[in-house]
Amino acid sequence: MTLRKWFFLLSTAVLLAGCTANPATTIFNTNSSIAAQKAQLFDVLFWMGVVVFLLVVGILILAILRGRRKPGDTAEPYQNHGHVRLGNIWTVVPLLLVAYIFFYPRTNHEMCGPRRPRKKGI
């Protein structure tokens, strides 16, 4: 057997090993309140990542389409310093996103963490 066939058989076996007849053993089934909170945290962070990804791809495609050289244009484009407001926006928005990603799991983790023992009186 060639290496390609071995790789195909091994990857098929690994994929089929993850299949189960019991749907209660999936990662999407939360059986406790802590698991539900962690799943909610994952959902929030996942969709924030999707929005940022789509925004970056959209801006990239827009920049590629608008920044093309026009037919017959041989001159260098005008070189400007930049846009201060836009620079401030793309500095502050990621800062706010990172701050949210930092503080949101901390509050979620504190709700899920162990309870502090009560102080006993003397």
| pLDDT number for residue 95 | 92
| Lowest model confidence (mean pLDDT) among 11-15, 24-28, 88-92 | 24-28
| Mean pLDDT taken over the chain | 81
Distance CA 112, CA 90 (A): 34
pLDDT in tens, 27-57: 677 777 777 777 888 888 889 889 989 999 9
pLDDT in tens, 109-121: 666 666 666 677 6
Q: What is the separation, in whole angstroms, between the first and last Cα of the chain?
A: 76
Distance CA 22, CA 26 (A): 8
Residue 97 to residues 23, 25, 91, 103, 108, Cα–Cα distance (Å): 35, 33, 10, 10, 17
Angle at 67 between CA 96 and CA 83, to 5 degrees: 40
